Structure 1
Amino acid sequence: MKLRLAHLSDIHFGGENKDAVAAAGERLRTGGFDLTIVSGDLTRYAEIPEFQAATAWLAEAPEPKLVTPGNHDAPYLAWAERIFAPFRRYERLVGPAPWQSWRSGGVAVRGINTARGAQPRLNWSKGQISMRQARAAADWFEPGDTLRIVVVHHPLIEMIGGPMTARVWGGETAAELFCEARVDLVLSGHIHAPFTWPYPHGDGRTYAVGAGTLSVRERGVPPGYNEVEVEDGCIRVTALAWTGSTYEPYRTWALDRRAQA
């Protein structure tokens, strides 16, 4: 198996790094990717013009694409809408919010919405995944899926030393369930910094992979995104950083794949 994925997150249209976003779009069009994934926070405040800018940029990216929402894609200023219909704008202008999927040639990708418009805690921007969501995703995979990927916005388990927390309710349980389901990658964003690490469950071959941001809201890391290359025995993740004129490798990880039955 050979596969190339582009994994972007936290573009935050309305507060995007315009040059970095334009250059990323050009790389998507010329990079020969098998799939482009955006793991949430397309917008800054979920305003209509921000969604319009996001959809115009996405329209120029080659198919196929899988896009899942983030907490910034629920209106920040329209309180009633955020509580009662948090992803109405997203679904009207971008696509389905609860879950998304893509399957081709033994590769299966399932997107899950871990964002909420309101929660019974002060910081509603933190993540949440229910057992129902996690179980539905795990059960969706088929025996013939030789590469299994879950896409969420919030990291299910905290990044050690990260610039901010996700504090995902249900995250630990979902991570363990995805290990049992032999998921290979759980892609996320939210913290604006790239990372990889294996979940501490099962055979140690289910990896959390986070992408950085393409916005001006940097948290100690330059704007950037990830390119993922998968071969039979290895998953190589390259975090690219925008220098102001070009993208250059920022960090690279080689992750061992589990043996295929």
Structure 2
Amino acid sequence: MRTLVHLSDLHFGRVDQALLEPLRELVERIAADVVVISGDLTQRAKEEEFEAARAFLDSLPGPQIIVPGNHDISLYNVFRRFVKPLDRYRRYITDDLDPVYIDDEIAVVGVNTARSLTIKDGRVSHEQVAAIRERLRGVGPDVTRIVVTHHPFDLPESFEKRDLVVRAPMAMEVFAETGVDILMAGHMHASHAGSTAARYQIDEYAALVVQAGTATSTRGRGEVNSFNVVRVEPLRVEIDRYGWDVVHGQFSLVSTEKFIRTGSIWSPHDDGMMAAGL
């Protein structure tokens, strides 16, 4: 089994400082195999925000898979936005915009979906999808394949279709071809886990979507600050959601969701139904 901590939308420059140390301590206690941060490390891509984000990342265990978000590109500085869109991200966070972690149980592939030409929307290119195919080509059949982006490939029906990453259907066809199991993202400041079966009706394929809320931003959009702990086995995934407990000043376990894989299809799993033989 492999354990991943999934943080997203840190938004340094607009963080609740009271959350940082409790979050750091809990992440350290969890002792994850990989820490995933799915974008928006800063609020306005300012140097001091990246410096604060870098200091926080340095306090967390590794290895870390980090991808940028739309807030990590300068918004108001037109020159920096279009000529040097991720210059500060590369300088302070990582020069690798498409990081990869692979061991004998999981393959985690990060993909940059942030673009200068859009204010908040994300895109994935044909070249990036081809690179994902190539990176997963030599991965063994028993390895769980995970793709990390800032912008989501799927969301509940209550969200707009425009909130999804552009060219998502094209990418999903390749994900089905390469057997991608889990799609981890952020951006919406909303926690969610579910199957892609309803939106993408691909024969004998459905990935598991894992959305993280904002871990530390003051902009919760109606949801408490939260993050995910994802425990991965070849045929089973368990997702613990931790939410900020204002009364006790700590992150506490809020919910646990379980999913199982049958063939190449991930679906929710009910222990009670399984025990009853249903």
Q: Identify whether the pair has TM-score above 0.5, normalized to the shorter chain.
A: yes
**One-letter amino acid of the structure 2 residue matched with residue 212 of structure 1:** G
Offset of residue 199 of structure 1: 1.7
Q: Is the 8 A contact 1:47 1:75 kept in 2?
A: yes
Residue 241 of structure 2 corresponds to residue 257 of structure 1: no
CA distance in 2, matches of 1:24, 1:202: 40
Unaligned runs of 5+ in 1: none
Bigger Rg over Cα? 2
**Residues 1:27 and 1:202: Cα distance change in structure 2 (over 3 Å):** farther
Q: Secondary structure of the residue that 1:248 maps to in structure 2?
A: strand
Residue 148 of structure 2 corresponds to residue 151 of structure 1: yes
Q: TM-score, structure 2 length as denominator?
A: 0.86
Q: Secondary structure of the residue that 1:66 maps to in structure 2?
A: strand
Deviations 1:145-197 (A, max 9, x none): 61111000000234322499524211121123212211111100000011112
**One-letter amino acid of the structure 2 residue matched with residue 220 of structure 1:** G
After superposition, where does 1:29-48 map in structure 2 within 5 Å? 29-48=28-47
Deviations 1:27-54 (A, max 9, x none): 1212111000000000000000000000
1:203 corresponds to: 204
Deviations 1:40-72 (A, max 9, x none): 000000000000000000001111111110000
CA distance in 2, matches of 1:30, 1:250: 17
1:134 corresponds to: 129
Offset of residue 136 of structure 1: 1.0
Q: Is the 8 A contact 1:102 1:108 kept in 2?
A: yes
1:230 corresponds to: 232
1:189 corresponds to: 186
Offset of residue 250 of structure 1: 2.7
Offset of residue 202 of structure 1: 4.0
Q: Is the 8 A contact 1:236 1:254 kept in 2?
A: yes
CA distance in 2, matches of 1:212, 1:159: 14
CA distance in 2, matches of 1:160, 1:239: 21
Q: Is the 8 A contact 2:144 2:234 kept in 1?
A: no
Q: TM-score, structure 1 length as denominator?
A: 0.92
Count how many residue pairs are aligned between Structure 1 and Structure 2: 255
Question: Which piece of structure 1 moves more, 234-243 or 165-174?
Answer: 165-174
Offset of residue 248 of structure 1: 2.0
CA distance in 2, matches of 1:27, 1:117: 35
1:74 corresponds to: 73
1:52 corresponds to: 51
Question: Which piece of structure 1 moves more, 95-104 or 29-38?
Answer: 95-104
Question: Which piece of structure 1 moves more, 65-74 or 226-235?
Answer: 226-235
Offset of residue 23 of structure 1: 1.4
Residue 249 of structure 2 corresponds to residue 248 of structure 1: no
Q: Secondary structure of the residue that 2:21 maps to in structure 1?
A: helix
Deviations 1:90-135 (A, max 9, x none): 001100353111111231111000010124xxxx310111121112
Q: Is the 8 A contact 2:9 2:214 kept in 1?
A: yes
Unaligned runs of 5+ in 2: 265-278
1:101 corresponds to: 100
Q: Is the 8 A contact 2:123 2:166 kept in 1?
A: yes
Structure 1 consecutive aligned stretches of length 4 or more whose deviation exceeds 4 Å: none
Q: Is the 8 A contact 2:2 2:105 kept in 1?
A: no
RMSD across aligned C-alpha pairs, in angstroms? Answer: 1.8
Q: Secondary structure of the residue that 1:62 maps to in structure 2?
A: coil
CA distance in 2, matches of 1:75, 1:57: 21
Q: Is the 8 A contact 2:10 2:40 kept in 1?
A: yes
Q: Secondary structure of the residue that 1:99 maps to in structure 2?
A: coil
